[in-house]
Structure 1
C-alpha cells in the first residue's frame, strides 16, 4: 500500500473514530464505525482470497456488530471487538485455517502493527527516510532545548521571588491554557491512530502463518534410520504395555465412579446441606480430570504408537476411556442442572454448560484423531472453530433478560437471590422490577420452600431489593434521556418504553 493512501485512510479512521466515540458511550456508533472500517480493510488487502474461516469471521463480525445495537451487553461488545481484531488478521494473511493461530497472530499484531520497520511493504534499508530525518530534527532542535528550558525555568523560579513576579503572568496564562486544553480528545485521536495501524498496516507474521499453511490434518509417520529399528520397536512395545496397564486400571476406576454418579447425582434429592460442595468444587475437579484425561490420551498417541501394528487393544481401551469421560461430562451437566433447579440461573452456571459442550466436542475430536490418524493441527483447528461458534452464539443472546425471566418464573422451586438479580444489566429492568405485593408473596413462598433460613444477613429481603431497584430505575431513565443518536441502542429503547407503560 502506498504511503499517501495509508496516511489518507489513517486520517479518515482517526476522524471517524473521534467523531463517533468522543464523549459518547457505545451504541449505534460502534456498528457505524465497523461498517466503515471493514470495507477499508478489504480494500487495502485486495485481492482477498476468502476461505471458510475468513468468510465466517466476516459474517460473525457483522452479525455481532448488529447485535451490539440490538441487545447491547458488555459481553456482546467484547466478542464483537475480538472478532473485528481477528478478522483484520485473517484479511491481511489470506489462507489461515485455524482460528487459534489467527487469534495468537492478532494479539501479537496489537503491539507490532505500530512499528513501520516491521511492515512487509518496507523496502530494505535505504540511507534514511524523510520521516526519520524529520523526527531526528524535532528531537534535537525542539524537544531537547525545550526540556532544558523548562528545567532551568523551574530552578530560577524557585531561586528568585523577583524573577517569579516578572514571569508569573506568563506562567499563569500557560497553566490556564493547559487547563482549558481538551486532553481527552487527544487520547481519542491517539486511539484512532492505533486502530488505523492495526487495521491497515501489514507487518511480518511471527511464523504461525507459515505453520498454519504448511500443516495438514493427517498424521504422518516419522521413520528413523535402520540401525535404530530394534531399539525403536522395543521402546514402542514398552510404551504400548504401559499404556494398556494404565488405561485398564483407569477404566475400572472411572466405571465405578460413573456408577456412583448415576446413583447419587442423576437421581439427586437435596436435603439443604452439601449442595455448594456437590456442585462448585465437584464440577471443576471433574472438568479438570476430563481435560487431564484428554491430555493423557494425546501423550500416548503423539507419535509412532499410532502406527504400531499391535495397538488394537490399546485403541479399544482408549475409546472406552473417552466414552466414559463423555459420560462423566454428562454427569457434570446433571450436577449443574440440579444446582440451577434449586438456585436458578447465573452467568457462571450458563458458562458451565457451554464449557462442557466444548469439552465433549474436544473428546469426540480426540476419538476421531486416534481412529482416523489425525494430526494435532486437526485438533486445534476443530476445537478452535467450535469455540468461535460458541462465542458468536453466546454474543447473540441477552442473558440478562433470560436469567431474570427464568429465575422469577421459578421462584416456587428456586431460591431468588435478590442481590445477584439487582446487579443484572439495565435491559433486564422490566423483568426484575416487582411490586411490593409480588415481593412479599415471593418471600413467603421462599421461606416455606427452601430447606434453609432465607432471612440470613447475607441475603437481601424484598424491601432491600425494592429500594435498590427503584433507585436503579430512576438512574436508568435519567441516563436514557441524555443519550444522543450515536449512543442509541434497541435494548435501552425497549427498556425505556416498557418502564413508561
Structure 2
C-alpha cells in the first residue's frame, strides 16, 4: 500500500468515524475517540512530529482541553480544544515556530484540500497495475457447496428447536442492523459524512504549498543591523553612504524623542485624572452609570495600546536600534510603557468597582483577560526595545501567550461561577440582573433551582419558566447517547433525578 492509498484509507475511516461519533450528538466523550484517531493518524503519516518539542507541549494542552471538555462542556472548552487540535496539526505537518504562521498553514490545508484529494486519488490508483481477479472462479465453484449447505441448514432448523431459536435471534439482529444500515444513507447523514471526510482530510492532508512554513523559518528573534547603499545622480562628488545613514538616524531619533515627549505628556495628564477620580476619590452613586466608566477606560486603553505598538514598531524596527545616541528615545519608550501599564491598572480598578456593585458578567470577565493580555504585550514590547528583538518575536510570543490564556480560561466553568458569585453577593450588589442569570447555560440549572425563591421575588413567572426549562433540558438530554456523556450534564441530570425522587416521597 503506497503512501497516497494509506492517506485515502485514513480519510474514509475518519469520515465514517466522524459520522458515528458526532451525528446528532454533542461534543463530549466522543471527542476523546475522535482526538485519539486524529493524533494517531497524524503521527503515523508524519512520524517526525513525535520529536517536535512544541508538539509535545501542545499534547499536554490537548489533555487539559479534553479534561475540561469532559468536566465542564462549555462553549469555551470546545473552542479551546478545536484551536489546540488545529495548532497541533500545523506544527506536526510543517516546520513552524509561530502560532500565527502555523494557523496560516492549516488554513491552506482546508482551502486547498480538494486539489490535494485529487492528487491523492491519482497517486493511489493512477499508476497501480491492474491485476486479474479470481472472484469469478470462486463464485463458480461455490454455487453447489452453498446450495448443499442451505438444504442442511433448513433441515437442522426444522429438527432442532434450540437451533431454530438461535437462527431466529440472529435474523432479528440482522433485521434491526439492516434498518440502521440504511438509516446511515439518509441524505442528511450522507452530507454529514461528506463534511466529516472534508474535515478529516483537511486535518491530515499536507499541502505542497509551504508559503507560511518557508516564511516562518527565515524569521529571527534577533534584530540585525541592515547595511544601506545610496546612489546619487547628477553629482560630481557623491557623499559617503555612512554620512547619509548618520543624518537619517539622527533625524529619526529626534522625531521619535519629540513624539514620545508629547505622547507621554498627554498620557500623564490622563493618568493624573484617573489617579484623582478612580484611585483616590472614587465614590459610587447609582445615578452615575458605572458601565460608562469601564467602557471609556477600556476604549482609551485600546487606542493607547495601538498607538504604543505603532510607535515602537515604527521607531524600533530598523537601524535606529543600533544608533548610539538613542538613549533618550529608549527612556521615553520605557516611560510610555510604564504609563500604559498604569492605565491598565486604572481600567482594572474600574472593572473591580463594576463587579463589586453589579456582579460578574461575560464582558466584565472578558475585560480582565484583555488586561492580562495587554500586560503581557507591554512586557514583550519592553523586551523588544531593551534586548533589540524583532517584530516577529513580539507577535510570536504574544500569540503563544494568547494560546496559554485560552487553555487556562477553559479550566473554569464561568457560567456556574457567575451564578454562584452573584447570588452569594446579592446583598452587596446594587441590582441583581436576574434575566441575565436565568439566561445562562443549562449547567447552572441546579444552582438556579436551589435559589428559585430569589427569582420569584423579582418575577412571579420565573419559577414556571425555570420548570419548563428544566423539562426541556431533560428531554433534550434523552436524545443523546453515551457518546455525548460529560460530567457537567451527568451532574445536572443526577441532581434533578434525586430532586424528583425526594418530591415523590
Does TM, scored on the shorter chain, surpass 0.5?
A: yes
Deviation per CA, 1:184-206: give whole Å up to 9, x if none.
11112101211221122111244
Instruction: Report the equivalent of 1:165.
Output: none
Kept in 1: contact 2:7–2:120 (CA 8 A): no
2:220 pairs with 1:220: no
| 1:182 Cα deviation after fit | 1.2
**Alpha-carbon distance change, 19 to 287 in structure 1, aligned in 2, over 3 angstroms:** same
Residue 82 of structure 1 and its aligned partner are, at CA, apart by 2.0
1:336 counterpart (327, 337, 351): 351
SS of the residue aligned with 1:115? helix
**How many angstroms apart in 1 are the aligned matches of 2:327 and 2:408?**
39
Q: Give the corresponding residue for 2:54.
A: 53
Q: Structure 1 residues 119, 215: closer, same or farther in 2, change over 3 A?
A: farther
Q: Who is 1:191 aligned against? A: 195
Partner of 1:431: 447
- Choose which of 312, 325, 331 in structure 1 pairs with 2:340: 325
Residues 239/350 of structure 1: CA separation in 2 closer, same or farther (3 Å cut):
same
Which residue does the alignment assign to 2:93? 92
SS at match of 2:193: helix
By how many angstroms is 1:291 displaced? 2.5
String of CA shifts for 1:26-73, please: whole Å, max 9, x gaps. 321112211122111111111325333222222212321232111111
Counterpart for residue 471 of structure 2: 474
Q: Which residue of 2 aligns with 1:34?
A: 35
Equivalent in the alignment of 2:178: none
**CA shift for structure 1 position 306:** 0.5
CA contact (8 A) 2:222 2:390 kept: yes
Q: Structure 1 residue aligned with 2:393, among 373, 378, 398?
A: 378
Change over 3 Å in CA distance of 1:64–1:179 after alignment to 2: closer
Partner of 1:203: 207
CA distance in 2, matches of 1:410, 1:337: 14
SS of residue in 2 equivalent to 1:433: helix
Q: Distance in 1 between matches of 2:440 and 2:269?
A: 41
Q: Which residue of 1 aligns with 2:84?
A: 83
The equivalences for 1:44-443 within 5 A come to 44-48=45-49, 50-93=51-94, 95-116=95-116, 129=126, 182-225=186-229, 227-267=240-280, 268-272=282-286, 273-414=288-429, 415-435=431-451, 437-439=453-455
The 3 A distance-change label for structure 1 pair 193 and 130 is farther
SS at structure 1 position matched to 2:243: helix
Query: RMSD between aligned alpha carbons?
Result: 2.5
Contact 1:119 1:201 in 2 (8 A): no
Q: Any idea what SS the aligned residue of 1:242 has?
A: helix
Structure 1 residue 482: Cα displacement: 3.6
Contact 1:120 1:203 in 2 (8 A): no
State the Cα deviation string for residues 324-363 of structure 1 (Å, max 9, x = none).
1011111111111111111111112111111111111111
- Residue segments in structure 1 that go unaligned for 5+ positions in a row: 132-177, 444-460
Q: Report Cα offsets for 1:403-446 as digits up to 9, x if no partner.
A: 11111111112221111111111111111224554446xx5xxx
In structure 2, the CA distance between the partners of 1:406 and 1:205, relative to structure 1 (3 Å rule), is farther
Deviation at 1:77, TM superposition (A): 0.9
Change (3 A) 1:371 1:357: same
What is the aligned partner in structure 2 of residue 465 from structure 1? 462
How far apart, in 2, do the equivalents of 1:217 and 1:21 lie?
42
Q: What is the distance in 1 between the residues matched to 2:184 and 2:212?
A: 48
Q: Give the TM-score of the pair, scaled to structure 1.
A: 0.81
Check whether the contact 1:110–1:198 (CA below 8 A) recurs between aligned residues.
Answer: yes
Do the aligned residues in 2 keep the contact of 1:119 with 1:202 (CA within 8 Å)?
Answer: no
**Matching of residue 21 in structure 1 with residue 22 in structure 2:** yes
Task: Flag the 1:55–1:288 CA change in 2: closer, same or farther, 3 A.
Answer: farther
Give the alignment's TM-score, normalised by structure 2.
Answer: 0.80
Deviation at 1:254, TM superposition (A): 1.4
8 Å CA contact 1:422–1:468 kept in 2: the answer is no
Pair 1:222–1:483, CA change in 2 (3 A) = same
State the 1:217 CA deviation: 1.0
Moved over 3 A (4+): 49-52, 117-123, 128-131, 178-181, 434-440
8 Å Cα contact 2:30/2:483 also seen in 1 = yes
How far apart are residue 120 of structure 1 and its match? 10
Q: Deviations over 1:73-128 (max 9, x none)?
A: 112112211211221121111x31111111122122211133127969998xxxx9
Name the CA distance, whole Å, in 2 between partners of 1:297 and 1:257.
20
Residues 435, 402 of structure 1: alpha-carbon distance in 2 compared, 3 angstrom cutoff: closer
